Amino acid sequence: MPEDVYFEPSHVVEAARVAQQVLRPAADKDWSVKAAGLEWDCRQTLDHTVGAPLFHGTNLAMRSTKRLANPRGANTSASIGDLIDALEYTATVLEQIALAAPPNARGFHPSGMATADGFCALSTNEILLHTHDIAQALGLSFEPPAALAELVVRRLFPWAPKDAAPWAALLWAGGRGSLPGRESPGGSWMAHSAPLSEWDGVTIPRRQPA
């Protein structure tokens, strides 16, 4: 079994700030273009990314055992600049909920009953991957700090090859890149948000068709 990786709540805020640095200069671009590999346009993708930490934080705070209604609907009136600012706001809300949660706190997520660090890793993954999707569509260069990408890979995707560069491994695990000799999971990728000690060391989970 892989060793547990404790994902610090502060890492989700770090990811939000990394995303802001990349996206702010592009606030005046055409965000109605489709995000790379998605059905959403870039604005919808950013709006979704802003909401992810609130969704994760709500499930942790409520100790949910089944899917809850998303506490935040689409914010169609916010400007791109407002949404870029809000990345840090919602990441900080999740950070503070995670810091206040007892060690055994869990909440529902389709990828497993997540711990506080699991939810923070899930949100960080959402922020990094969707920033990539937007950056690709808007012609921006984006690569997060290797240490942050590696933490996400080790916490959520323990089956990812350890000999690959962390960002390349994360893109592969999230169905957005290729690795030599490895079949891409594509849109069926799934994370492991429960403690790593609960992974069987063999099974690579896949998203079930709707």
The answer to which of 34-48, 90-104, 131-145, 179-193 has the lowest mean pLDDT is 179-193
Task: Evaluate whether residue 106 is within a structural domain.
Answer: yes
Taking residues 82-101, report their average pLDDT. Answer: 98
- How does pLDDT run across 1-48, given as a tens digit for each residue? 566 677 899 999 999 999 999 999 999 999 999 999 999 999 999 999
The answer to which of 24-33, 130-139, 141-150, 175-184 has the lowest mean pLDDT is 175-184
Q: Indicate which CATH number applies to the domain containing 99.
A: 1.20.120.450
Task: Evaluate whether residue 141 is within a structural domain.
Answer: yes
Q: pTM of the entire structure?
A: 0.95
What is the model's pLDDT at position 171? 98
Is the pLDDT at 135 greater than 80? The verdict is: yes
Secondary structure in 3-state letters for the chain: CCCCCCCCCHHHHHHHHHHHHHHHHHCCCCCCCECCCCCCEHHHHHHHHHHHHHHHHHHHHHCCCCCCCCCCCCCCCCCHHHHHHHHHHHHHHHHHHHHHCCCCCCECCCCCCECHHHHHHHHHHHHHHHHHHHHHHHCCCCCCCHHHHHHHHHHHCCCCCCCCCHHHHHHHHCCCCCECCECCCHHHECCCCCCHHHCCCCCCCECCCC
Taking residues 146-163, report their average pLDDT. Answer: 96
Task: Evaluate whether residue 110 is within a structural domain.
Answer: yes
Q: What is the dihedral of CA 186, 188, 194, 195, to 10 degrees?
A: -40
Q: Among 84, 119, 85, which Cα is nearest to 99's?
A: 119
Task: Evaluate whether residue 72 is within a structural domain.
Answer: yes
Q: What is the dihedral of CA 172, 38, 21, 101, to 10 degrees?
A: -70
Quickly tell me which residue has 């604005």 as its tokens: 43
* Residue 208 banded pLDDT, cuts 50, 70, 90: confident
The total domain count for the chain is 1
Task: Evaluate whether residue 210 is within a structural domain.
Answer: no
Task: Evaluate whether residue 1 is within a structural domain.
Answer: no
Is the pLDDT at 149 greater than 80? The verdict is: yes
Task: Evaluate whether residue 192 is within a structural domain.
Answer: yes
Q: What percent of the chain has pLDDT over 90?
A: 84
Task: Evaluate whether residue 126 is within a structural domain.
Answer: yes
Is the pLDDT at 193 greater than 90? The verdict is: yes
- How does pLDDT run across 103-131, given as a tens digit for each residue? 999 999 999 999 999 999 999 999 999 99
Q: Structural domain of residue 150, as residue ranges?
A: 10-198
